[in-house]
Amino acid sequence: MVYGNSQINRSFFYDTDNCTVYFTYFSEFNRLWEGAAFIEAVVMSIIFLLSIFENGIIIGFIFNSRKSRTVTNFFVCNLAIGDILFVSSAPLVAYVRITGTWYLGDGMCHLLNYGMFVCSNTMIWTMVAISIDRYICIVIGIPTSRRLVPVHIVLICAGIWLTTSCCFLPTAFFFHLQDIHLDHGVITFCTLTWPSGHIHYSVLFTTMLLLLGFGLPVLIISLNYYRIFKKFWSSKRAIDTQNVSGIQRCTRTRKRKEQRIVKTLILLVVIFVLMWLPIVIVFSMIREDIENERNEMPSYGLTWALIIAYLNPCVNPFLYGFMNEEFLRKLRYCRQYRQSNEQTAVSRTNLREGQTSASNL
């Protein structure tokens, strides 16, 4: 449909004056069903609340327990912080999905998209750091005390944040508000426009996103966990060749523990690919649409790919926290301690009631 000097296609605008195609990203117009925006908003809000609650528990556990302040758990804490910051964009995206037109201001257009790129890639590379830490600990066998101290962990985490912040700094400048004048008024949306010239910035950015934001992390994580898997498998075969009856019970316990660890490692890789691959594919398709002027990728495609990525902060606390033996022991201890206190309180109440009844007699 053509309005004034612009062509609208639900998620794309073609400005005939500037001969430029704009993708609306989080905004969408001329929806076939307006209720879809509210469904998207509700789903994102639920994911946001669950992620904040789960990651808050993980951070609180690590800071409140001295025994839990290990090298891996410091990385897990950094991952939880990245999870919270990344998923905190969900309410703002949900608001834009409902309103369509961007009402959050020009500054938020720059900051929101830049922050999402930085936080998501910080999460990804923190997961890479965790896989490297587990590889060094399990396969190489270097004790934690000989590896790193908390200051080193802080520097590594700060380096991850600084590197991702620098890599995606261009998005803070090239995301901007775009006003489109239609016959019935003006609409505003936040879009990404690369500078024109001989350098194909969109190709460079998409390539960097594919390599640094997905391809290389998947390769490193897969290799590290594959080596850990081989280590467990070789130890399992060695144990299977032994027939000493005195160690059979210990062997069975160890087997169950190793099987659980192997399943967790496989699950980590599978979930990582399933949750981050869709948004990488969608960004690539958006670039192809704009370059070839096909204008076919709908904005809700990007939204649901982002929702899948938002699920990762919900899953990470289970994979990196709730599956941790020490964390589970702490939870069981707290639950038993609370139940003991409740039973003690009930006993004291019953004792006081019995003493009162005896005195009345």
Quick: pLDDT tens for 203-254: 888 888 888 888 999 999 999 888 888 877 776 655 555 544 444 555 555 5
Residue 160 or residue 140, greater confidence: 160
Per-chain mean pLDDT for the chain: 79
What predicted TM-score, i.e. pTM, was given to this entire model? 0.81
- Count of Cβ atoms closer than 10 Å to residue 107 Cβ: 9
The string of pLDDT tens digits covering residues 17-39 is 667 788 889 988 877 788 889 99
Q: What domains lie within the chain, and their CATH numbers?
A: 2-328 (1.20.1070.10)
What SS3 state is found at 171?
helix
Paired with 3 in beta bridges are 6
Dihedral sign computed on CA atoms, order 85, 88, 89, 90:
positive
71 Cβ contact partners less than 8 Å away, ≥ 6 residues apart: 133, 137, 144, 147, 148, 153
Compute the distance between CA of residue 143 and CA of residue 229 in angstroms, rounded to an integer.
19
| 342 — pLDDT class (breaks 50, 70, 90) | low
Question: In percent, how much of the chain has pLDDT > 90?
Answer: 32
Dist. CA 190–CA 178, nearest whole Å:
6
DSSP code at position 211:
I
From its phi and psi, is residue 293 left (phi > 0), alpha (psi between -120 and 50) or beta?
left
Task: Say which residues have a Cβ less than 8 Å from residue 298's Cβ, sequence separation at least 6.
Answer: 10, 11, 28
Highest mean pLDDT among 218-232, 320-334, 342-356: 218-232
Residue 264 confidence (pLDDT): 73
Residue 6's pLDDT is what? Answer: 42
pLDDT tens column, 72-114: 788 888 999 999 999 999 999 999 999 988 999 999 999 999 9
Q: What is the DSSP letter of 69?
A: -
| pLDDT, position 123 | 92
Distance CA 37, CA 294 (A): 24
Structural contact between residues 28 and 35, judged by C-beta atoms closer than 8 angstroms: no
